Amino acid sequence: MDSPNADSTVLRNDMASTRDVRLRALQKELSDHLKDHNSSDARSSWKERHDALATEVATQRQRKSLQREASKRRDLTELLRLHTKSIATKRRTERLSDTSKGNLDIEVEYIQDEEGKRMDERKREEKRKREEERKQEEERKREEERKREEERKREEERKREEERKREEERKREEEEKEKERKRHDGIKQQYEDAYREFVQAREDCSLPDHGLRAFFRLYDAKWDVLKNPIELQPLAFAELPWPILSEHLLSPSEITMERVQQFIFHPTRHKDMTKVLIIREELLRWHPDKFESLILPKVRECDKQLVAEASGLIIRALYGLKSLGHT
């Protein structure tokens, strides 16, 4: 936007240009008039016109001077107004600056105070979280310690229980072994008693029936020994309980169905059992699978073939008796 000083300068320049044009026009008119009028009337008229023109020029110059003075006063007034306005603006700006600076200081102080409060709150929150984490960690450690203690107690209890069970199992095994040993000892004792009874009956010829009963008891006692896991010396062929009424069986050829029948159905043997039960009992004793797995391993190596052959003859004789109607 143009200032008031610039407007005044343009106006003065326009007025000066107008006056110059006016003066040049008057001078040209005067020169033309002098050329056309050489008479005294003309000179008189020219003088009048010259005086009038001089008066007009003087008037215009005076007016021009007054206008310049008025323009200067206006310029001074405008400059004074602008200067006053500038000073007022500067003072207002300074007041606003001071006010803004004060407000800014207050705002900065407020922001710093709020930031300090937030920092304090954040520190308190962090401290609270650390305290909670510490408590949680302590609680976790106590819980782990409690679990370890419980696990240790359970492990100790389990070990005590296992030890107790092992001790009970050991005692039970010892009791079973003791019972088995006593039973085996009883079987051995029965065999020894039966053998002594048989020997005594054999020497006492006055009681033949007593000798047969002793022989039958010795046969059953030998089977009791063989069926149980009793440690024995390897047995000879003649030491096995053959169902033949012969004290010393020396060869499988001596075994026949008639001799087996005479032995197992003898009147003094198993008076309270039927022939069916007697045959069934003997078949269980001489069953090939059981005989080979339980009895044959206890025989001397040199007699195993003879024993196997003799046991085969006995099992065929038993099945033969069974097929004859003894069922």
Two tokens, residue 280: 């069934």
CA distance linking residue 277 with residue 270, whole number of Å:
10
Query: pLDDT by residue for the chain (327 residues), tens digit each?
Result: 445 555 556 556 666 666 667 667 766 766 665 565 555 565 667 667 777 777 887 888 888 888 888 888 888 888 888 888 888 778 877 776 666 666 677 877 888 888 888 989 999 999 999 999 999 999 999 999 999 999 999 999 999 999 999 898 888 888 877 776 666 666 656 656 665 655 555 555 444 566 788 888 889 999 999 988 888 899 999 999 999 988 778 899 999 999 999 999 998 887 788 999 999 999 999 999 999 999 999 999 999 999 999 999 999 999 999 998 655
CA distance linking residue 230 with residue 249, whole number of Å:
24
Q: Are 194 and 217 in contact (CB under 8 A)?
A: yes
| DSSP code per residue over 172-218 | HHHHHHHHHHHHHHHHHHHHHHHHHHHHHHHH-TT-HHHHHHHHHHH
- Give the number of other CB atoms < 10 A from CB of residue 237: 20
CA distance linking residue 222 with residue 201, whole number of Å:
17
Q: 235 in helix, strand or coil?
A: strand
* CA dist list (Å): 284 to 280, 281, 289, 321: 6, 5, 10, 15
Q: 304 in helix, strand or coil?
A: helix
Two tokens, residue 116: 């300090």
Name the pTM for this structure. Answer: 0.46
CA distance linking residue 242 with residue 222, whole number of Å:
10
